[in-house]
Chain A
Amino acid sequence: MRLIPYVLTLLLASQAQASVIELTKTGKDLDGVALSSKAIVKIDGRETSLTTIGAGLRSKKISFALPSVKVYVAQLFLSQPESFVRLEDQALSSANKSTVFAIQLSFLRAVEAEKVMVAFRDSLKANAVDFSKGEVAEFLRAVEKGGEAQSGKNLVIVGERLSDGTEVIHYETTGEKLYSVVGAPGFMNKILSIWLGVPADGGLKDLRKALVGGA
């Protein structure tokens, strides 16, 4: 049973030119990034409407005495927003009730692909997710292959639960390359834990609070 998603992972981890998300802007902004109230995700002919749950700034401490560096503005969208519980300890499990999620990261500075991957990996580790094999490792490889996150551009991660129970993570780079990785049930939850699970550092803790609290 576990072999099937893995084979699919290998088959679908390819790339193509695409733009997977269309946003409805609110007219407000956060650190110069336009905020959105809604999103439409378009992948492989499937179209899903999503509602904005929240937005927040990802900052990272570089050295204890210095102010944190602003890295990106994140916006979280869910297909079933009514199921979302705005409590930090229930946010992850309730977000997972949506069949589709999208998170857009608007980068405020350029970050090398390897650093993006390592930062995601640190978060997965904080959530006790085994990142060394299977679909999670494949996702991290896609992040690393995807190249530098460019300043002023958007990186989009979409999770889809398909009718057969498999879960797909689509990773669109700031250069609009799309990578898709298919995994077993629970894959979406693992990836969402990067932002809604146990925070790997103070910057992610603040971001989770902002995402859960709403824009």
Chain B
Amino acid sequence: MKKISVLVCLVALVGCEAKEALNATKGMPGEMRVMQNEMVKTNEAVRLQKLALSLDRMFSDQNTDIMTPPPSGMLSGAKKFAEFATSQELIEQVYAWLLEINEQVPDESLRVNGSFPKEVVQRVDFQKMQRLVAIQAVAGFTPDFKVREIVDVQIQSGGVYQEAAYTFLAARGFFIADYLVSRKILSRKVNNLEKLNSGLSELRNLKYIFDLGLGERVALKVTGFLDPSKNIDLVLDPGIVGSLRESLLSSASVDMEEKYRTGELTKTVRALESL
């Protein structure tokens, strides 16, 4: 009898706890949503923090005191920024940098005998040059799908930042050709498959820009340097894809190590030839 009472009590207790647990679950979907919302907020806060950090890194003094060649700290900051920013944020930032380059002028009070002193011109133009290199690097490192989003929203659908999007594409094209292919790959021996595949991937990204058929609208025009000789008006030359492809193929034909001369190499070479 004693055993039965204990059992009943236990069952009753367990029953109570189970009921409480069941009652508690009634509120769970709402709490889960709250928790999920909090997590989204936290993730967004973390993303924004990463964006801010990558911008800081791009323009920190130690990464930009010498701009030629592009400093590695600035490039890694640009790569992170391109990775964490949305396509909308990327184009807005490029637009903002272009405004700074083209429209920012020193305070009038700095003029001496009607013109800005050499040091002021150098300082302001150096800051503008930093922005220009940042545009190139960010555009060059932007993942392919974000570039397509920018093209769809800003160019094909006529967005607010359409002009900035043309500049973005031109800057991306120049950065891919000048830095990612010529400097990173072609200035060394193309002696393994990874280098050749990386070149192929970059050339595909470059060709995508030309395949949009935008012609001379894909140009980089910068008019805001105080020293006018630094201003730029450059159209991306479509012949660059063929010329870089030939350089990659001829370098690989001499440099490629024997162990990589396999069917995989043939596949990559064919893919390059078909560009």
Contact = CB atoms under 8 A, between A and B. Distances in A.
B254 A63 contact: no
Nearest to A201: B182
A121 B190 CA distance: 13
B129 interface: yes
Contact of A63 (B175, B247, B251): B175
A132 B251 CA distance: 10
Nearest to A119: B187
B186 interface: yes
B70 interface: yes
Nearest to B67: A66
Contacts of A67: 68
Contacts of B189: 114, 117-118
Contacts of B183: 62-63
B148 interface: no
A204 to B, nearest CB: 14
B68 to A, nearest CB: 5
Majority-rule SS of B interface residues? helix
Interface in B174-188: 174-175, 178-179, 183, 186-188
Contacts of B251: 118, 121
A132 to B, nearest CB: 5
23 contacts: A61-B178, A62-B68, A62-B178, A63-B69, A63-B70, A63-B133, A63-B136, A63-B174, A63-B175, A63-B179, A64-B178, A64-B220, A65-B132, A65-B133, A65-B136, A65-B232, A66-B69, A68-B68, A69-B68, A114-B188, A118-B251, A125-B250, A132-B254
Question: How big is chain B's contact interface, by range?
Answer: 20 to 34
Given A114-B188, A125-B250, A131-B254, A62 B70 contact: yes
Interface in A99-123: 114-115, 117-119, 121-122
A151 B67 CA distance: 19
A67 to B, nearest CB: 6
Contacts of A68: 68
Interface in B52-91: 67-70
A45 B136 CA distance: 55
A66 B69 CA distance: 8
8 closest cross-chain pairs (CB), A and B: A62-B69, A64-B174, A65-B132, A66-B68, A63-B178, A132-B254, A115-B187, A69-B68
